[in-house]
Amino acid sequence: MSRKRAPYPHEFRSQLVDLVRGGRTPEELSREFEPTAQSIRNWVAAADVAEGRRTEVLTGKEHEELKRLRRENKRLRQEREILAKAAAWFARETDATSDDSSRS
């Protein structure tokens, strides 16, 4: 059973991100400090997104807005489908009623 360690403090992660941006490699920092090289790369990528350096990745706010818009889009499609079925039903009922009245 593996033990889970407490998250690294924000200041520590920021310092390692700054060192990577200053020219040191995540592997080099991993040997000197405890976090893995992959963790350091992840921190750099997250910092780039948060600071707007990477635009191909959604920020947290953009991700939340995208989820909200997808839910809204799904609801609107369902409502449109219900309205289309109701309109078709009323059209059939109107045709059936007008056929009955024209026969008398």
CB 21 within 8 A of CB 15: no
Query: Which single residue is written with the structure tokens 């992660």?
Result: 13
Query: Which single residue is written with the structure tokens 């609801």?
Result: 75
pTM of the prediction?
Answer: 0.54
Residue 19: both structure tokens together: 């060192």
- Per-residue model confidence as pLDDT tens digits over 28-82: 999 999 899 999 999 999 998 888 787 777 778 888 999 999 999 999 999 999 9
Cα separation, 23 vs 56, in Å, equals 23
Amino acid at 70: R
DSSP per-residue letters across 2-15 = PPPPPPPPHHHHHH
- What are the percentages of helix, strand and coil residues in the chain, rounded to 5? 75, 0, 25
User: What pLDDT does 101 receive?
Assistant: 61
